[in-house]
Structure 1
Amino acid sequence: MASEHGLKRYFDGEAARLLGDRIRLVRPAFDVDGYAAEVEARIPGKELKDRVLVLAEGLRTRLPAAYPDALPVLLSVLGDELAEGEGLFTTSWYLMPVARFVEEYGLDHPEASLDAIEEITRRHTGEYAVRPYVERHYALTMERVARWALSPSHNVRRLATEGIRPRLPWARTLTRFVEDPRPVLDVLEPLRCDPSEYVRRSVANNLNDISKDSPELALATALRWREESPTDETGWIVRHGLRTLVKKGDQRALAVLGATGGEHVRVARPVIGPGRVTIGDTLVIGFDIENTDDRPHTVVVDYAVRHVGGNGRGIPRVFKLTTLELGPGERRFLEKSHPIREVRTRRHHAGEHAVDIQVNGLVLATGRFDLDV
């Protein structure tokens, strides 16, 4: 998915013109030039969501005043449904203000708006638009979400899970599902081995959200899914859905994944290089990993980069490296390239940084490098 920072630049006067030209095909009196000029004048200094709101507000003042009359105009410009693999942020990104229009102005017309969200999500996404409806029209919306989960459309099935994620990025938290995620898990049940990768990724992300607040419930669900649906699709969902717990070294999550015997694994000859790097360089992490037991073991290998914070203490960030099967006495060499780059969520500080090699939740080796900024 594109970052919020990277995507925002697309929502400007040209985006308004792109959308306005499509509207003018069905509503010839639509003022495209005025719409584009207004958007261009109002967006400076605004981030993604506020820019999209500007475009939605411009639509509201130029379409019929009655929401039920304005909605069909917007739905008529949606185009064809996206096929599996077509990116909503590359193919139909300009429809984001249409979804925002329904999110902002349709709450007094929930039936028509939920119908519209279903149509929008076939061409773009309705994951943000549906969340206010969960909050204000809970029973009606959750009944619709349950139906969406059984849709023949992979886009609609994905909406069923993505729209009710407790901690969806760029969206406000659905507190009711943070406190009790069981209604969310009910929706995920028929999707736990979905044939669509697009849907499976959303199911896994949803389970990962749940694991942050209700780890016991997430673990019990993941274990049951593996036992009742021993398919590659379900296995992938479980592995990806427990990733936050695995990165924390949660032994229960590792056991669900079949990763045991970390005490029988040895990490030797860790090499972290070059010893001194700067922003833009690439760090190479290499080491030998050996199973010292006379039985095979499945091992989950991660590495944690402990960046120096402003107070001088290391702030760890865990990255996935691999999951592998080690036979009795087997030894392998693993290597990973790690780019050192600027990120918006963390400021780099000069000094000595550490890299921990973590196997089945246990830190088995540590290397160090110096960062110049």
Structure 2
Amino acid sequence: MPVDTALPLLDTLYADSSRFVTASVANHLRDIARTLPDLVLAVLTRWRAEGRTTDAELAFITREALKTRLKSGWAPSYTLTGYDPQATVSVSPLRLTQTEYRLGDSLTFEADLTAPTDTPVHVMYVLTRGDPATTLAEKVAHLTRTTVRAGVPMNLTKTHRLMSAGTAAFAPGTYRLTLQVNGRRHPPARFRIRSGQA
């Protein structure tokens, strides 16, 4: 059965007043976007033009529907959600409190963002195993959606617990930590996890 079979039903349900229903609509669109992202973009653009639901609710549906594509850095998904993939944003080198950890430790990092004009940013961070032979899936996590004010450095700080969850199965080895701003990835910082629990 084609993945887009449910689209006529979604065309009706997306304007429902229940968040439970609209969340289900977004989940269905996210499944379709895995293989037909351009179709999902067209549907969301059409819904925006129809004006049958509030801007806030459609923004929720759009973010959730494109969540996987946003994590992958797909430029059209950022454009549709209001973030310019080509925006001029300078990102300082990532600063780690340390570069050696044990499983269960908390990794704390920070960086500064600057821009010449007020610039909306959607920031994620990416954890990737650096060793060639690994089955660890790349972990992409949300950090913030905000606006960098013109000429005013914005400090970002985050603490991440180095515990295995879902497909992110941490193990001893080397890792890369990368900031992704409006879909663009910046130079990584490197750290190592040693054997033994914290």
- Judge same fold: TM > 0.5, yes or no: yes
Question: For residue 367 of structure 1, what is the aligned residue in structure 2?
Answer: 189
1:270–1:366 contact (8 Å) kept in structure 2: yes
Q: Distance in 1 between matches of 2:181 and 2:35?
A: 24
Q: Which amino acid aligns with 1:208?
A: R
Q: Distance in 2 between matches of 1:345 and 1:316?
A: 8
- 1:336 and 2:158 aligned: yes
Question: TM-score, structure 1 length as denominator?
Answer: 0.48
Correspondence for 1:357 among 179, 187, 196: 179
Question: For residue 110 of structure 2, what is the aligned residue in structure 1?
Answer: 286
Alignment deviations for residues 4-56 of structure 1 (CA, whole Å, 9 cap, x no partner): xxxxxxxxxxxxxxxxxxxxxxxxxxxxxxxxxxxxxxxxxxxxxxxxxxxxx
Alignment deviations for residues 297-330 of structure 1 (CA, whole Å, 9 cap, x no partner): 2211111101245715985221111211223333
1:314–1:353 contact (8 Å) kept in structure 2: no
Q: Distance in 1 between matches of 2:48 and 2:108?
A: 35
Question: TM-score, structure 2 length as denominator?
Answer: 0.86
Question: For residue 248 of structure 1, what is the aligned residue in structure 2?
Answer: 72
How big is the shift at 1:204?
Answer: 1.4
Residues 227 and 328 of structure 1: CA distance in aligned 2, closer, same or farther (over 3 Å): farther
- Gaps of at least 5 residues in structure 1 are 1-175
| Larger helix fraction of residues | 1
| Larger strand fraction of residues | 2
- 1:297 and 2:119 aligned: yes
Question: For residue 138 of structure 2, what is the aligned residue in structure 1?
Answer: 316
2:85–2:183 contact (8 Å) kept in structure 1: no
- Gaps of at least 5 residues in structure 2 are none
- 1:201 and 2:23 aligned: yes
Higher relative contact order (CA closer than 8 Å, sequence separation 6+): 2
1:356–1:364 contact (8 Å) kept in structure 2: yes
Alignment deviations for residues 220-275 of structure 1 (CA, whole Å, 9 cap, x no partner): 11222233335211111101110111111111111111111544001114212332
Q: SS of the residue aligned with 2:83?
A: coil
Larger Rg: 1
- 1:327 and 2:149 aligned: yes
Identity level (%): 28
Residues 262 and 314 of structure 1: CA distance in aligned 2, closer, same or farther (over 3 Å): farther
Q: Distance in 2 between matches of 1:317 and 1:277?
A: 18
Q: How many residues align?
A: 193
Q: Distance in 2 between matches of 1:240 and 1:214?
A: 15
Q: CA RMSD in A?
A: 2.2
Q: Distance in 1 between matches of 2:20 and 2:170?
A: 34
